[in-house]
């Protein structure tokens, strides 16, 4: 199974498995609030723990994948992901929920996510944007397969049954898919000599470009994670909790459409960035999300338009998971790509705190989602500005310096 397209397919399946803990979480918030008596902010701490652990352990997880190979580590990650749901079904307190769904789930999903992305940038040095976009689409769209079934099961049998059933499915499917993964060999690197070299994490962390990208990814992660974690809450506050669109309940329909657009955006913008450049693509995508978020507010009282615009918003957000790893690997090389991306991926953890409990507390303080949306919209436009005006010239100077260094270090070829 060394063919890189087979590796891509298996990585895609692994991403399908770990997508539901993040992207169907909003369906569990109301049932958990009802059974535990906890506030929304307290319940949302679970989501933040999931993302923080997923992201802040990413450098260590990436190092383990680089050392022990993708098959073993991704098998462990898939098993932990499914087990976290099974154990969460038995949690009788908020602490138990935090430790199972949050802590254990974050460790499992983080291993798989970072491992698959790092796997793809090594197998596809000539098509990084497209390859990372495709597997990232698996993470964005995978929950499409579970959103309506879980919503139905929640209504008919309760959240415990849903957690146990789908947790077991995640274990079986994820572990089986991971068995076919293999480390990239030299044949996968011939398309780009740069893939044989690269900056170590300690070297990368001393550069301003990394920290600029970290700030940018934090702001974009905050925007997207606020939407994915709070949609059930602000849909209810907008008076559409029981709305029906095209004969279907509004929230599951919106979440399903979001999964499609959030998945399609990743390979599309990844491919586009291969054609017109990473930063140019960032400007287009981030501006699109800021404009879509603004229009979303104006359509919040119209159920059908609300559903459609939610899909447009997610189309403007999900591409960060193809653009940022591709840009990072272009800048710092492939040799330590998995570990290096683990450090950048920590920005997702910061965004989960800002978009989860902090956004919920801000809503509680003002009694409205309008201030939250205003801040998020401003972040989108600010990140687009940074991409085009600051990051692009910085990377051009950096890459130009690398080329000059390589040429100066190369041995002279005698004239014949």
Kindly report, residue by residue over 275-300, the tens digit of the pLDDT: 999 999 999 999 999 999 999 888 88
The three-state DSSP-derived secondary structure of 293-351 is: HHHHHHCCCCHHHHHHHHHHHHHCCCCHHHHHHHHHHHHHECCCHHHHHHHHHHHHHHH
Instruction: Say if CB 310 and CB 282 are below 8 A apart.
Output: no
217's CB contacts (< 8 A; 6+ apart) are 320, 324, 344, 347, 348, 351
Which CATH number, 2.60.40.1730, 2.40.50.140, 2.70.98.90, 1.20.1250.20, labels domain 4-403?
Answer: 1.20.1250.20
What is the predicted pLDDT for the residue at 279? 96
pLDDT beyond 60 at 170: yes
The more confidently predicted of residues 199 and 142 is: 199
Per cent of the chain over pLDDT 70 is 93
Distances (CA, A) of 338 to 58, 243, 330: 9, 43, 13
pLDDT beyond 60 at 269: yes
Instruction: Say if CB 185 and CB 342 are below 8 A apart.
Output: no
Q: Which phi and psi (to 5°) does residue 359 adopt?
A: -65, -40
Residue 8, H or E segment: helix 4-23
What is the predicted pLDDT for the residue at 185? 64
What is the predicted pLDDT for the residue at 402? 60
């Amino acid at each position: 199974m060394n063919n890189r397209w087979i590796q891509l397919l298996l990585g895609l399946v692994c991403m399908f498995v770990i997508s539901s803990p993040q992207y169907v979480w909003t369906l569990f918030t109301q049932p958990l609030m009802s059974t535990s008596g906890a506030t929304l902010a307290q319940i949302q701490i679970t989501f933040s723990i999931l993302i923080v652990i997923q992201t802040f352990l990413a450098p260590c997880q990436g190092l383990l994948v680089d050392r022990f190979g993708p098959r073993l580590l991704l098998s462990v990650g898939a098993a932990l992901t499914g087990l976290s749901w099974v154990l969460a079904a038995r949690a009788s307190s908020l602490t138990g929920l935090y430790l199972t769904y949050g802590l254990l789930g974050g460790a499992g999903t983080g291993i798989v996510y970072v491992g698959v992305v790092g796997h793809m940038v090594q197998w596809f040095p000539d098509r990084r944007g497209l390859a990372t976009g495709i597997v990232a689409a698996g993470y964005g769209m995978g929950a499409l397969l579970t959103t309506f079934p879980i919503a139905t099961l929640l209504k008919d049998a309760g959240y415990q049954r849903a957690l146990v059933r789908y947790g077991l499915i995640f274990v079986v499917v994820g572990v089986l898919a991971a068995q076919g993964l293999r480390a990239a060999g030299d044949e996968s690197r011939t398309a780009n000599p740069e893939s044989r070299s690269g900056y170590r994490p300690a070297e990368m962390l001393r550069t301003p470009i990394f920290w600029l990208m970290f700030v940018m990814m934090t702001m974009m992660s905050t925007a997207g994670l606020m939407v994915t974690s709070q949609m059930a809450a602000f849909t209810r506050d907008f008076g559409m909790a029981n709305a029906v669109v095209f004969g279907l309940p509004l929230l599951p329909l919106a979440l399903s459409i979001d999964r499609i657009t959030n998945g399609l955006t990743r390979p599309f913008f990844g491919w586009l960035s291969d054609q017109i450049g990473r930063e140019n693509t960032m400007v287009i995508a981030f501006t699109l999300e800021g404009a879509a978020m603004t229009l979303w507010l104006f359509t919040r009282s119209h159920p059908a338009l609300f559903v459609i615009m939610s899909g447009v918003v997610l189309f403007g957000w999900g591409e960060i998971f193809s653009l940022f790893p591709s840009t990072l690997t272009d800048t710092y090389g492939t040799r330590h790509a998995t570990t290096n991306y683990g450090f950048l991926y920590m920005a997702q953890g910061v965004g989960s705190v800002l978009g989860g409990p902090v956004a919920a507390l801000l809503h509680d303080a003002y009694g409205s989602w309008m201030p939250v949306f205003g801040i998020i919209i401003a972040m989108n436009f600010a990140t687009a500005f940074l991409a085009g005006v600051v990051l692009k010239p910085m990377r051009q100077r950096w890459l130009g310096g690398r080329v000059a260094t390589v040429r100066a270090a190369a041995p002279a070829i005698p004239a014949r």
